[in-house]
Amino acid sequence: MLLPDNIAQRFLEQYQTLLRSILGHEPSSLNDWVDARNKLAEVHKNCELNDGYDFDDDFRDGLRNAIYGDFCFLKRYKNYCALQHIDSSVFYGARSLTSPLEEMISEYSIIQTGLIPYQGTIVCDGLVQPSNMLLGKNYAKSMRDAYWSAKRGGELILI
């Protein structure tokens, strides 16, 4: 599930500006963008954004509440993609920016990414690093069951 174009573009403008400022130069590869995101992940809770940039308040607040790390991409549902944060076992319903997650990675695969609250939804930051690991059928089934339990119990985080 993609964000509306205008929201995705505004998010990307701000996020790319921030990542460029962290790097101190124009990224020349996906690895440069990921390196900048990884540096941001280390300091995001205390991130003081330079007021010289046009960051909106929702973007600033979202960064402070972002979740970075390894996730299991379960599958795409009608309004979001379900992901489980590996370290905390918390389930999130996230939306993609410009490319659907399900076109980039297989269901029940482990990825490294960032989830950032923005404009009333959770946004996958688009810097998706897949691992070469797919989950077996039994493990995938247990994750799917845990997802449905979390959803029924109101523990699925959508914002």
Phi-psi region of 90 (alpha: psi -120 to 50; beta: other; left: phi over 0): beta
Q: What six digits make up the tokens of 39?
A: 């540096």
CATH ID of 5-152, from 2.160.10.10, 3.40.50.300, 2.60.40.4070, 2.40.50.140:
2.40.50.140
pTM above 0.85, yes or no: yes
121 DSSP β-pair partners:
118
- Where are the domains positioned within the chain? 5-152
Instruction: Give the span between the Cα atoms of 62 and 123, in whole angstroms.
Output: 9
Say if residues 27 and 86 touch (Cβ distance below 8 Å): no
pLDDT tens-digit profile, the chain (159 residues): 899 999 999 999 999 999 998 899 999 998 999 999 999 888 766 666 655 677 888 998 899 899 999 999 999 999 999 999 999 999 999 999 988 988 888 888 899 999 999 999 999 998 988 877 767 788 889 999 999 999 999 999 998
Say if residues 131 and 106 touch (Cβ distance below 8 Å): no
